[in-house]
């Protein structure tokens, strides 16, 4: 089954991961409350071409929580740096979804020489105050006595209502992951995400790496307009709007996402081989 649990390995800093394939390394970083299985469709496809490493963020899946009371984007990207130095030990393509995309972008700000390129899926950019306040309210409600109800609300926001049988099945997996998550790790990640307005403009303008911003036409939070604005600020960017996709595009529209990643990564690999 595509979304079944994978057998993990663990780094010395207790980041759990699943690795398949060989060749150019690609690291996959999931979003808030999820775990590496949200990338299963990409792992199964891309392992035929590349060395694919999907991780559990700290406090997610089987990874241990960050030892800090003040968790922030920087701490997540530093945890990724420690992981890549130990486990990958060479240049890679970094791919993140939602919060994972924000972490990936923070990573390249500090460690661009580690990376061949970046793909940001369903990434936010410069949210307005109304969106920020709504997210902070959801954060408060999500970890109250109404946790199960708020998870249902989150799933509806990600997948919509009255969707196809396939999306209903995907929603069940995501709901299970959220309900069974490490609540401390989930809350820490949600708090970081809720208080992060978006990728700094300066970071994007200084980004020289090949970059691909992908989102779904139905994603009301990580909108196509946001992806386009980020793309326009980058020196070597591109964007893809997946028609009919929502926030979990790598699951619901995995074939298109897989093709986009493959094309991007092969272009980088071919360019590397020709230099």
Average pLDDT, the chain: 93
With a CB cutoff of 8 Å and minimum separation 6, the contacts of 230 are 120, 123, 125, 199, 204, 213, 237, 239
For residues 13 and 147, the model is more confident at 13
Instruction: Write the pLDDT tens digit of every residue in 160-171.
Output: 765 677 788 999
How far, in Å, CA of 87 to CA of 10, rounded?
A: 10
Residue 162 has a pLDDT of 56
Residue 167 has a pLDDT of 84
Instruction: Write the pLDDT tens digit of every residue in 243-262.
Output: 999 999 999 999 999 999 99
Is residue 66 a part of any domain in this protein?
yes
The H or E element spanning position 105 is helix 99-111
**275 with 247: CB under 8 angstroms?**
no
Is residue 56 a part of any domain in this protein?
yes
Is residue 1 a part of any domain in this protein?
no
Is residue 86 a part of any domain in this protein?
yes
Is residue 244 a part of any domain in this protein?
yes
How far, in Å, CA of 79 to CA of 62, rounded?
A: 15
Query: What residue numbers bound the domain in which 235 lies?
Result: 9-273
Instruction: Write the pLDDT tens digit of every residue in 169-221.
Output: 999 999 999 999 999 999 999 999 999 988 999 999 999 999 999 999 999 89
What CATH number does the domain containing 157 carry? 3.40.50.1820
126: pLDDT strictly greater than 80? yes
> Taking the chain, what is the end-to-end CA distance rounded to the nearest angstrom?
40
Residue 163 has a pLDDT of 63
Residue 128 has a pLDDT of 86
272: pLDDT strictly greater than 90? no
Backbone angles phi, psi at 28, to 5 degrees: -115, 125
Report how many domains make up the chain: 1
Nearest residue to 96 (alpha-carbon basis) of 197, 213, 186: 213
1: pLDDT strictly greater than 60? no
Is residue 81 a part of any domain in this protein?
yes
Mean pLDDT of 78-94: 98
**222 with 245: CB under 8 angstroms?**
no
Is residue 188 a part of any domain in this protein?
yes
How far, in Å, CA of 199 to CA of 203, rounded?
A: 7
Is residue 2 a part of any domain in this protein?
no
């Amino acid at each position: 089954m595509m979304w079944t649990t994978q057998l993990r390995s663990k780094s010395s800093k207790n980041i759990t991961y699943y690795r398949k394939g060989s060749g150019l390394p690609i690291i996959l970083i999931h979003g808030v409350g999820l775990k590496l299985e949200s990338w299963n469709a990409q792992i199964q496809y891309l392992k035929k071409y590349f060395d694919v490493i999907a991780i559990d963020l700290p406090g997610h899946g089987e990874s241990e929580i960050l030892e800090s009371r003040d968790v922030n984007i920087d701490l997540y990207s530093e945890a990724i740096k420690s992981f890549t130095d130990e486990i990958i030990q060479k240049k890679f393509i970094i791919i993140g979804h939602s919060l994972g995309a924000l972490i990936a972008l923070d990573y390249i700000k500090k460690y661009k020489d580690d990376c061949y390129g970046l793909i940001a899926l369903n990434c936010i950019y410069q949210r307005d105050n109304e969106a920020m306040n709504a997210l902070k309210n959801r954060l408060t409600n999500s970890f109250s006595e109404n946790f199960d109800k708020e998870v249902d609300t989150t799933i509806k926001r990600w997948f919509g209502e009255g969707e196809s049988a396939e999306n209903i099945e995907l929603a069940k997996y995501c709901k299970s992951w959220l309900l069974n998550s490490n609540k401390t790790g989930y809350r820490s990640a949600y708090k970081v995400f809720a208080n992060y307005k978006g990728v700094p403009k300066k970071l994007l303008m200084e980004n020289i790496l090949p970059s691909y911003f992908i989102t779904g036409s139905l994603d009301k939070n990580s909108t196509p307009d946001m992806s386009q604005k980020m793309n326009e600020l980058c020196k070597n960017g591109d964007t893809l709007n997946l028609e009919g996709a929502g926030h979990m595009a790598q699951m619901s529209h995995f074939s298109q996402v897989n093709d986009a990643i493959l094309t991007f990564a092969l272009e980088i690999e071919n360019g590397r081989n020709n230099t």
